[in-house]
Amino acid sequence: MSTTADEQKTVARTRTAGERGDHPALTNGGIEDDPDLRARELEQQMTDDERFSLVISIFGYIPGSAVGPRDPRLPPDLKNMSAGYTPGVPRLGIPPIQSSDASMGITNPGYRPEDEGATAYPSLISLGSSFNPEVVRQGGEAIAREARSRGFNVQLAGGCNLARDPRNGRNFEYFSEDPYLSAVLAAAQVNGIQSQGVVSTLKHFTLNCNETNRHWLDAIIDPAAHRESDLLTFQIAIERSRPGSIMTSYNKINGEYAGGNGPLLNGVLKNAWGYEGYVMSDWGATPDWEFALRGLDQESGVQADRLLWGKEPFTEDLRAAYLDGRLPRERLSDMVRRILRSLLAVGADRWGPAPAVDEAWHNAIALEGARQGIVLLENDGVLPIPADEPLKIALIGGYAQQGVVSGTGSGAVAPLGGFAAMIRIGGAGVMGKHRNLYLLPPSPLQALKEQFPRAEIDFDPGYTPAEAALTARRSDLAIVFAIRVEGEGYDLPDLSLPWGQDAVIEAVAAANPNTLVVLQTGNPVTMPWRDRVRAIVQAWYPGQAGAQAIAEVLSGKVNPSGRTPITWPKSLADTPRPELPGLGTPWGTPVAIEYHEGAEIGYRWHAKQGTSPLYAFGHGLSYTRFDYRDFDAVGGDTITASFTVTNTGDRAGADVPQVYLTAAPREPRMRLLGFSRVALEPGESRHVTLTADPRLLARFDGSRQQWRIDAGDHEVMLGRAADAPVERAVVELNGRYFGV
């Protein structure tokens, strides 16, 4: 739905010309007049060697990395190592392509000491909780400025896989379980990045929804349901942001590797949707040159393929196929033109001087994202904690004396000045050495001391339940920080907290009736202690400004406004796959996961099964109250809903009213149709109008390869969350086929 009430709080600051960038593409809004024509002209002038050099990227050198010694194809004077390096063609003004991870800031692969770090922005699930495209777009701009300052012109951002499974170790790198919310936010990030002259990806195309043996994972799904869910996310995000590149996923989809999946890449992405950018593989996901025939345009990080599959298919086999005619000349030209087009379209060939990076401003953007991403799950009135009283506060566990937690893997950002601490965890497979507890400074302890200057704060590490209880007992209030390390390469076996933290929380709650819990996890957790604590705050992985944001929410300086973008099931029994196939099998074991829930993910699954979750998608509390009135819904070709939201409490705050389809003519069907983040002063009202993307009201008809809306009555609901309706209406929709 489109938002008319544009109450999107962002970080205001006047930018200097240098920060805006001053190359021609950026002065006309980042759009090259005719990138297709120029790409065609340039490609025609290239030699075959130049063409072949463009269709691979070389992994940067990381001392000690599994991919081996420094690759001789990396120029000796290459300054910043990156995930991928592709030589340019200087005689034609084509710059080298340097790609960097990822969606939460500029990473430093291998944590090389000469890299001074970058701004560590909040995790995407945290930004997903903001329901605020504007805060995401602004973060994208900031990430791109930092990328440009290091010479990176492709940002491997735009993670938009759907959170189908709360065990997926990478959900923190994705926005949500909902296709529309994910698409809107991913597009905002891509638009922010590309506005600065940097190409962005959307990734991982598609169904990289579990990490278990991901290189050997076959994701099975009904093709029509795929179009209504994961593919719809990409489709809407592509339409809204025209990303220069799409990164394919590691897994297979219905038996074919994503990077070589002809029906999806050639069929859906390029032919049906007319995608004009280039398709890159994930690192180590190109076992075969024939992927080029099925839609893959660039093999990424070729040494990773050598490691996994024993060869670099686009270096050796692709040339051989070209020479003997199995790879048509026109296809090679198309691969090259697509890559060039994406660079030209954002102006990556016409960079001016590198933008100055204002660290304080970027920290302010990270802070605003963290604030808006914190979800107040429970509060019986204990929050906010008065900031000006001489309270004795027990702060327990979670390494809260050192820093906040980061997710792990290729997307983890080392902050300026380095991590506060790093504790090795390890695990099977190539990601084992990256699976660590990374703590970002400053610490919650320090931030709480600043926020509660009159309080006496005792830190207890939560080492044992008994010891933690001693500190809690002599305090007015106990705040337990509970954490879990999640990341790339690993699914969680269950939703519990590790390291005996549940027992610590139980003991603290028994010792002090005023106990509250702050969670830093990348996914929902189970909470056996839920009824014995007075408040629960989900901070996700909040990034480098997270400690301040958490302290401000606890004190009420910031009124929490986050809404969970993923359903919290009461137990795994209430999810589509109580048992996760392949979990626990050795790295390298082929596994098939049937996503039999189709498009009925998360809140939709719960609605279909009639089960109630622990916390529904869209749930999040505030320190003020919001009322809805004047609800109206109009049918026809789509649904337009309007209503007035009023802040009836005594504090300023932001609400996220949500409109859902709850039933179609022949079936109950739950779909988020639209949302709007509305910031209101006490007593203030705002009228909001939302119009649904008709695909959210439709089924995908596989036989016609079109969307179909059934004529008849559709039920629509205005609510505070997927399980919290406030108003309902029935509207009639015209039956029709449309789109592709």
Nearest residue to 614 via CA among 503, 534, 526:
526
Query: Nearer Cβ to ligand BGC, position 175 or 283?
Result: 283
Q: Pull the structure tokens for residue 199.
A: 């190409």
DSSP 225-262: HHHHTHHHHHHHHHHHH--SEEEEPSSEETTEEGGG-H
Residue 461 in tokens: 């590490």
500's tokens: 């005996």
Least spacing, CB of residue 401 vs ligand BGC, in Å = 32
What distance in Å separates the CA atoms of residue 569 and residue 348, rounded to the nearest whole number?
44
Cβ 174 to ligand BGC shortest distance, Å: 11
- Residue 430 CB, nearest distance to ligand BGC (Å)? 8
Between 110 and 712, CB nearer to ligand BGC: 110
Q: Hey, what's the torsion of the CAs at 407, 411, 417, 420, to 10 degrees?
A: 20
Interface residues toward ligand BGC, by CB under 6 A: 83, 101-102, 156, 203, 282-283, 410
CB of 285 to ligand BGC, least distance (A): 8
Q: Is 101 labeled as catalytic in the residue annotation?
A: no
Grouping H, G, I as helix, E, B as strand and the rest as coil, residue 456 is strand
Taking a C-beta distance cutoff of 8 angstroms, is the pair 126, 370 a contact?
Answer: yes
Cβ proximity to ligand BGC: between 216 and 499 the closer is 216
Q: Is the peptide bond before 204 cis (omega within 30 degrees of 0)?
A: yes
- Nearer to ligand BGC (CB atom), residue 298 or residue 676: 298
- Token couple for 604: 């939709």
Residue 234 or 322: the one with the smaller Cβ distance to ligand BGC is 234
As given in the structure block, the two tokens for residue 274 are 């007319």
The closest of 265, 252, 249, 155 to 205, measured between CA atoms, is 249
Closer Cβ to ligand BGC, 83 or 336, answer by number? 83
Q: Are 350 and 25 in contact (CB under 8 A)?
A: yes
Structure tokens at 329: 């000349």
Minimal distance, residue 177 CB to ligand BGC, in Å? 19
Residue 7, both tokens: 């109450």
Least distance to ligand BGC, CB of residue 250, Å? 7
Q: In terms of Cα–Cα distance, which of 309, 222, 224, 307 is closest to 259?
A: 309
Closest by CA position to 487, among listed 444, 426, 531? 426
In the complex, the smallest distance separating the C-beta of residue 282 from ligand BGC, rounded to whole angstroms, is 5
Strand extents, DSSP E, 104-166: 154-156
Task: Please say which residue, 203 or 350, places its beta carbon nearer to ligand BGC.
Answer: 203
- What beta strand segments (E) does 296-416 contain? 375-379, 392-396, 404-406
Alpha-carbon span 261 to 328, nearest angstrom: 18
Residues 6+ apart with CB under 8 A from 302: 56, 57, 58, 59, 286, 312, 314, 315
Q: State which residue, 101 or 165, has the beta carbon closest to ligand BGC.
A: 101
CA distance 498 to 486: 11
CB of 92 to ligand BGC, least distance (A): 27
Closest among 57, 135, 51, 33 to 94, alpha carbons compared: 51
Q: Where are the beta strands (DSSP E) in 22-96?
A: 84-86
Using CA atoms, how far apart are residues 79 and 197, in angstroms rounded to an integer? 20
Distant-in-sequence, close-in-space partners of 183: CB < 8 Å, separation ≥ 6: 160, 232, 233, 234, 235, 236, 237, 240
Q: Which CB atom, from 202 or from 709, has the smaller least distance to ligand BGC?
A: 202
Closest distance of CB 274 from ligand BGC, Å: 25
The one-letter amino acid at 713: D
Q: What is the residue whose two structure tokens read 């408040």?
A: 535
Q: Among 178, 218, 222, 282, which one carries the catalytic annotation?
A: 282
> Can you tell me the distance from the alpha carbon of 161 to that of 173, in angstroms, rounded to the nearest whole number?
9
Q: How far is the CB of 148 from ligand BGC (least distance, A)?
A: 18
Distance CA 122, CA 69 (A): 33
State which residue, 306 or 619, has the beta carbon closest to ligand BGC.
306
Catalytic residues: 282
